[in-house]
Structure 1
Amino acid sequence: MSAPTELLWALIGLILTIGGTFLEASIMNVPWLWEHQGTITQSLGVSYQIAAVLLVGCLGGKNAGLMSQLAYLALGLTWLDIFTQGGGFGYVQSPTFGYLLGFVPGAWVCGSLAFQMPPRLESLALSCVSGLLTIHAVGISYLAIARWGGWLTATSGSLLQQVLLYSLHPLPGQLAIACAVTVLAFGLRRLMFY
């Protein structure tokens, strides 16, 4: 992929990540029940942030994914309130900051795997799940190190309770989003012929 194309995908990924931070992910009941129940939506308990991270990796590749998430972190840590609970350098003391750090290698892993194999549903699903697991691995590691170092502002509960809260509880919704990103990326990659 050419450098200008990677930069364009990085910009798209940055915009999607910022926008996805503030959009709650939800699912709708199946169409054949609409006549009897109407349309019912149910929250997945997560935002579309993860979708943006994985989508830019699947469509723009590892470099675009890496650049978009580095830019997201830089903007959020310096002066824009683009993280879920604000922004600024003090955010490094938040227990969720490690997951934001995980966006960088997560997007890189997803993008790297997405372009190593032909764009099939299975390979794109593997890319998305690998990127998601990378995000959680970095997030959990950051939680453990930050708790040990004593620089977290909110340390209520044990490490296990925080891992449950920040990793295991949102994981089902994030896996549903990874499935949707897989299908969307598959269709878009076929449409764009790469």
Structure 2
Amino acid sequence: MFAPSELLWAVIGLILTIGCTWIEAFVFGLPISEWLQGEGGGIEAISLGVSFQVGAVLFTGCMGGKNAAALSQIAYIALGVLLFEFFGLEIFAHGAGIEYVQEPSFGYLLGFVPAGWLCGLLAFRSKRSLERIGFAALCGLVPVHLCGMAYLIVGYLFRWLPAPPGLGTAIMSYSIVQIPGQVMVSCAIALIAFGLRKLLFY
């Protein structure tokens, strides 16, 4: 059985994952060199090339624990398939429904379940610290990409994924290019989760 707090965090995690699918992650650049030269310059928003979706998964793990994070992602994947099949609603980034299993990114969505579980396990394994939560968040990225790349490899070998653009290009697009931005999002999530857990005394 799940504790009430785990169920609450599972619902929060589900809502955050759906909402963060379309929220792009940015960092803000300060024009320090222009300021030093006495020139005016505004603060510039620089895209990290990723959304906050993975951050929502890791945040749920850092705040709600392994069961809440895993449950929220199982619900997310199930809703993505069922809501489209019965009501025509899309909650995945590139579509929805049972046909989504043929999307190259579907393996990464499957990876959200072990990612949230592992992150939650590590985040609550010992006394709360920024280092522990940061380590948990970064470790949570590993299952996302392992599951995603394994899905791509098997999908291309057994030809249920579309042939273009090719396995190497797909791994580059869905993993290699995404990792730097996701690492930065994970670090930000760790800081937020640590501050909230300290504020909430747990």
TM-score category (smaller protein): over 0.9
SS in 2 for 1:111: helix
The answer for the alignment partner of 2:28 in structure 1 is 28
> Paired residue for 1:52, among 33, 50, 56?
56
> Are residue 86 (structure 1) and residue 90 (structure 2) matched?
no
**Counterpart selection for 1:123 from 106, 128, 132:** 132
For 1:38, give the aligned amino acid.
G
TM-score relative to the length of structure 1:
0.94
Q: C-alpha displacement at 1:77, in angstroms?
A: 1.2
Distance 1:22 1:155 in 2: 27
Name the % identity.
48
Q: Is residue 2:181 matched to residue 1:181? A: no
1:162 to partner: Cα distance: 1.3
Matched, 1:113 2:153: no
- CA RMSD across the alignment: 1.6
- Does the CA contact (< 8 Å) of 2:31 and 2:41 recur in 1? no
Rounded to whole Å, the distance in 2 between the matches of 1:34 and 1:56 is 40
1:155: Cα distance to partner?
Answer: 2.3
SS of alignment partner, residue 65 of structure 2:
helix
Q: Provide the residue aligned with 1:16 in structure 2.
A: 16
Equivalenced residues, count: 192
Separation (CA, whole Å) in 2 of partners of 1:78 and 1:51: 24
Instruction: State the 4+ residue runs in structure 1 displaced beyond 4 angstroms.
Output: 31-35
- Give the direction of change, closer, same or farther, for the CA distance of 1:133–1:151 in structure 2 (3 Å limit): same
1:180 to partner: Cα distance? 0.2
Query: CA-to-partner distance for each residue in 1:121-142, whole Å, 9 max, x for gaps?
Result: 1111110111111110010011
> What secondary structure is seen at the aligned counterpart in 2 of 1:188?
helix
**Structure 2 counterpart of 1:156:** 164
What SS is found at the alignment partner of 1:37? Answer: coil
Q: 1:91 to 1:114 in 2, by over 3 A?
A: same
Bigger mean CA deviation after superposition, 13-22 or 71-80: 71-80
Deviation of residue 120 (structure 1)?
1.1
Residue in 2 that maps onto 1:3: 3
SS in 1 for 2:25: strand
Write out per-residue CA displacement over residues 130-157 of structure 1, whole angstroms, 9 at most, x where no aligned residue.
11111100100111111111111x3213
Give the counterpart letter for 1:149 in structure 2: F
Distance 2:169 2:29 in 1: 32
* Deviation string, structure 1 residues 82-130 (Cα, Å, up to 9, x no partner): 1001211100000000000000000000001000022211111110111
Which residue is 2:176 aligned to?
168
Q: Distance in 1 between matches of 2:151 and 2:127?
A: 34
AA in 1 matched with 2:81: L
Based on CA coordinates, which of the two structures has the bigger radius of gyration?
Answer: 2
How far, CA to CA, are the matches of 2:102 and 2:71 in structure 1? 23
Unpaired runs of 5+ residues, structure 2, are: 84-88
Cα separation, partners in 2 of 1:40 and 1:156, compared to 1, 3 Å = same
The whole-number CA distance in structure 2 between the counterparts of 1:169 and 1:65 is: 25
